Amino acid sequence: MSSISIIGLGNMASALADRALAGGNAVEIIGRDPAKAKELAAALGGATVGTAGAAPAGDIVILAVPYASAAAVVSEYGDDALQGKVIIDITNPVSPDFQGFVTPDGSSGAQEIAKAAPAGAHVVKAFNTLFSHVLAAGPAEGRLLDVFIAGDDAQAKTRVSAFIESLGLRPMDTGQLAMARSLENVALLQLGLVAHSVKHTNFFLGVSILS
């Protein structure tokens, strides 16, 4: 069992919180609007409500906010509140025309967020390649959904992998945090598929391991 704090109250926050509760994890919901946070926690059942800007209760903190707000949110909580936490970055820093990224060349959203995090926190990229409704629905047609992860700290990735398994999903480690760039490109690839071939968002990309 993991202890999770989710910052954000949107589609990804509710899908992650719902699966996390079903997986037996302790879940804290944190939003900038306390009334909305209480409403979501009540709808989920079993989640607690945290205070925006205060130290999150969870050992794992999921940033479920738009990329544009993510680094500012990390700075707002500050070094003391996030010291020692595993921070999961689920964002996709895609440009408004869906053709590229708003991050500096050679970097990624996760690496930019890591710059804002305290030295004693560990950023792990995860969940950015699963559409929220696909995540909410869970295993599809007998196949586990793959959650690609990337991060520099092996222990942090082990903890995130255990959390992912508790959601009934399959963690797939892709390497160091610099691989987040590739994972964010996978999200861009998915948007290209939506626009040009699949034409809807009810799909996921996963690994088929052949014997």
Ligand X SMILES: NC(=O)c1ccc[n+]([C@@H]2O[C@H](COP(=O)([O-])OP(=O)(O)OC[C@H]3O[C@@H](n4cnc5c(N)ncnc54)[C@H](OP(=O)(O)O)[C@@H]3O)[C@@H](O)[C@H]2O)c1
**Strand 60-63 and strand 122-125: pairing?**
unpaired
Contact with ligand X (CB under 6 A) among 12, 60, 110, 124: 12
Give the one residue of 2, 5, 132, 161 binding ligand X; rule: CB under 6 A: 132
Of 64, 117, 160, 179, which one interacts with ligand X (CB under 6 A)?
64
Choose, by CB under 6 A, the member of 101, 131, 148, 163 that binds ligand X.
131
> Which position has the token pair 């007998």?
142
| β-bridge pairing 3-7 and 170-173 | unpaired
| Closest listed residue to residue 26, CA positions, set 71, 64, 59 | 59
Radius of gyration, alpha carbons of the chain: 16
Do strands 146-151 and 122-125 pair parallel, antiparallel, or not at all (unpaired)?
antiparallel
Neighbours of 147 (CB within 10 A): 25
Would you say 25 and 47 are in contact if contact means Cβ atoms under 8 Å apart?
no
Our finding on whether 128 is near ligand X (CB under 6 A) is: yes
* Binding string, residues 149-188; x marks residues near ligand X by CB under 6 A: ----------------------------------------
From 2-10, 139-147, 160-168, 173-181, span contacting ligand X (CB under 6 A): 2-10
CB of 161 to ligand X, least distance (A): 18
Query: CB under 8 Å to 145, separation ≥6 — which residues?
Result: 130, 134, 135, 138, 139, 169, 170, 204, 206
Does the protein bind ligand X through residue 73 (CB under 6 A)? yes
The residues in 84-113 that bind ligand X, with binding defined as CB under 6 A, are: 90-92
Region near ligand X per CB under 6 A, out of 18-26, 61-69, 78-86, 140-148 = 61-69
Q: Which residues bind ligand X (CB under 6 A)?
A: 8-13, 31-33, 36, 64-67, 69, 72-73, 90-92, 128, 130-132
